[in-house]
Structure 1
Amino acid sequence: MARVVEREPRGRARGRAALAALAVVALALTGCDAAGGNPGASGTRRAAPSPAPAPAWNTGPRSLAAVGDSITRGFDACTVLSDCPEVSWATGSSEEVDSLAVRLLGAKAAERSWNHAVTGARMADVPAQMERAAAHRPELVTVMAGANDACRSSVGAMTPVADFRAQFEEALRTLRARLPKAQVFVVSVPDLKRLWSEGRTNPLGKQVWKLGLCPSMLGDADALDAAATQRRNTVRDRVADYNRVLEEVCAKDDKCRTDGGAVHGFRFGTGQLSRWDWFHPSVDGQARLAEIAYRAVTAKGP
């Protein structure tokens, strides 16, 4: 006798199939695995973490070029009215100074650092210096300029702030045209009024000042009348304006860093000033500048 097999009604079978399909979709939407785990548990895949961004500033550059003025040339640090680049805070070879180049490059400092600063240079001269510095393809360029823009025959002859800004911007553009990835370290302009206050205590220094050293600040060194005080304060304020420009322009370049006003704020004592002109840094003063620069260049953040 043949066996009769009961068949499920077609409508009920279709309903069961639909329910099973919905269950599969719901399981997928909840992100659960086959064992009922949570998202991220065994059986699921997480997106790989984004790689950490590369640091914008390299604290260990392998070559260095310096641009700027007499301070970077070591003027009056070794002999009167003469450059002495071997004691330069930026590229000097003197063990007494332990320059930025020596601290960063060690035994290779002599072959991997170049000094294109010029005594008497103003910011208007820096673009041409940048062009010469870029020819070496350095990984770091130091800039220290602005003192001579304030040290003029009179306060009226000082470089206007707008011109100073345009000249510094041109200097950076000149470098970027040749070396878009080179790092730039900008040193603040020293406090010239502080230097006058310290140096005026030395009779020899004041005699050298009369030869024409920074007349806008150092002229009539012993005069304390209202006019002399106003003149010196005008120079002081112009230096503050220059330092603000350096900060603002540098901040627009992600490969540029300043000293944060450290050199301007450094209180040079008589031991850090030239024994001839009592205005430029002595060998010890150059060493202090090297220390400030090294801390700023090797800091993890600006």
Structure 2
Amino acid sequence: MGNQGMGNQGPHGRSRRKRPGHRPRAAGVVAAAVAVVLGAAGCDSDGDTTAPRPSATAHAPVWDRGPDSIAAVGDSITRGFDACNVLSDCPTVSWATGSDASVDSLAVRLLGRADAAEHSWNYAVTGARMADVPAQMARAARRRPELVTVMAGANDACRPSTKQMTPVADFRSEFKDALATLRKKLPRTQVYVSSVPNLKRLWAQGRTSALGKQIWKLGICPSMLGDADTLDPAATLRRDTVEKRVEEYNKVLKEVCAKNTRCRFDGDAVHDYRFGPAQLSHWDWFHPSRDGQARLAEIAYRTITAKNPVT
């Protein structure tokens, strides 16, 4: 996506020097050569990276806290849906790759505004489920990014009925397939994985808006948002079933990511974030507003730049 203007320093003023063709750092080349000599393992059948021998990584950390290029995959949240206009994508405010100054996206925070314009790409698609992510990963891999962000799973729970939600086993298989698709072409590219938001909390917040509830009737997350004011046992059970499925999806994301040394899960930070009126779209009261997108960017930046991964 096109992002405009701020020099080429990161948010903390550190100078960034782009490498032609995104060639790996010299230390990375040395570490890779040592790994070959010592027979370090590659990826397993699930797309997980086997832990390298200590001598192979003695001179280079496995996780690079300052990647120089970013690709984003996922669903409507990463496309900025309903943040600027009703029922419309607005990728300029995307938490991952957007250029909007009020959001200060992950790409801008990591790369600086000028470099983000040339070295970040958004392949997320509104309405996408985890089954769609492997194809998005394949497109992202063609750019050879040093970091890929993943935010998907809400639409697997947001189905016409709870019976149509993606089974947990299928969700796991699809996420593994997505990572394997990336690893096949880019074994050293890092992955940031966002947890699925708390859909039940979004329902509780949004049902206070008459406009929001009218927009929900157009088909937004019916398994959770349908009959928004109904509080009978059947409706409560339906919402609790969706909530449990989201928790199961997040457990899958955490477990699969934990098996890969170049993958970081947010530790349920997005799921646990308490989106309020200021952080929700004033059209549908479900998707993030500009302010909500900024909060997602903060969580991602904090996770990616932390010295140690969230446990």
TM-score class, shorter: 0.7 to 0.9
Q: Which residue is 1:245 aligned to?
A: 252
In the TM superposition, residue 76 of structure 1 has moved relative to its aligned partner by: 0.2
Is 2:81 the counterpart of 1:75? yes
Q: 1:157 aligns with which of 146, 164, 177?
A: 164
Change (3 A) 1:50 1:110: closer
Q: Would the alpha carbon gap of residues 50 and 210 (structure 1) be closer, same or farther in structure 2, given more than 3 Å must change? A: closer
Q: Give the TM-score of the pair, scaled to structure 1.
A: 0.83
TM-score by length of 2: 0.81
Deviations 1:196-221 (A, max 9, x none): 00000000000000011100000000
Q: 2:236 aligned with 1:229, yes or no?
A: yes
Unaligned runs of 5+ in 2: 1-54
Match of 2:124 in 1: 117
Q: Who is 1:60 aligned against?
A: 66
Residue 102 of structure 2 corresponds to residue 96 of structure 1: yes
Change (3 A) 1:275 1:50: closer
Cα shift readout 1:139-196 (whole Å, capped 9, x = no counterpart): 0000000000000000000000000000000000000001000000000000000000
CA distance in 2, matches of 1:208, 1:215: 11
2:248 and 2:58 mapped to 1: Cα distance?
38
Task: Report the Cα distance in structure 1 between the residues aligned to 2:284 and 2:188, rounded to whole angstroms.
Answer: 39
Q: Judging changes above 3 Å, is the alpha-carbon distance between structure 1 residues 51 and 154 closer, same or farther for their aligned structure 2 residues? A: closer
Q: Distance in 1 between matches of 2:267 and 2:289?
A: 23
Q: What is the match of residue 261 of structure 1?
A: 268
SS at match of 1:185: strand
Residue type of the alignment partner of 1:267? R
Unaligned runs of 5+ in 1: 1-48
Out of 213, 217, 221, which is 1:210 matched to? 217
CA distance 1:51–1:87, shift in 2 (3 Å): closer
2: CA distance between counterparts of 1:300 and 1:62? 17
CA distance in 2 between counterparts of 1:186 and 1:289 reads 12
CA distance in 2 between counterparts of 1:52 and 1:164 reads: 36
Aligned to 1:108: 115
Which has the larger Rg?
Answer: 1
Task: Provide the rounded CA distance (Å) in 1 between the counterparts of 2:120 and 2:137.
Answer: 14
Superposed displacement of residue 55, structure 1: 1.2
Alpha-carbon distance in 1 for matches of 2:225, 2:292 = 19
d(CA) in 2 for partners of 1:220, 1:301? 43
Distance 1:276 1:56 in 2: 42
Q: Which residue of 1 aligns with 2:140?
A: 133
Q: Is the aligned partner of 1:86 residue 2:92?
A: yes
Structure-2 separation of matches of 1:254 and 1:50: 13
Structure 2 counterpart of 1:65, one-letter code: A
**Number of equivalent positions:** 254
For residues 122 and 172 of structure 1, the distance between their equivalents in structure 2, rounded to whole angstroms, comes to: 15
SS in 2 for 1:181: coil
Alpha-carbon distance in 2 for matches of 1:217, 1:55 = 42
AA partner of residue 58 (structure 1): D
- Offset of 1:52 from its aligned partner? 4.0
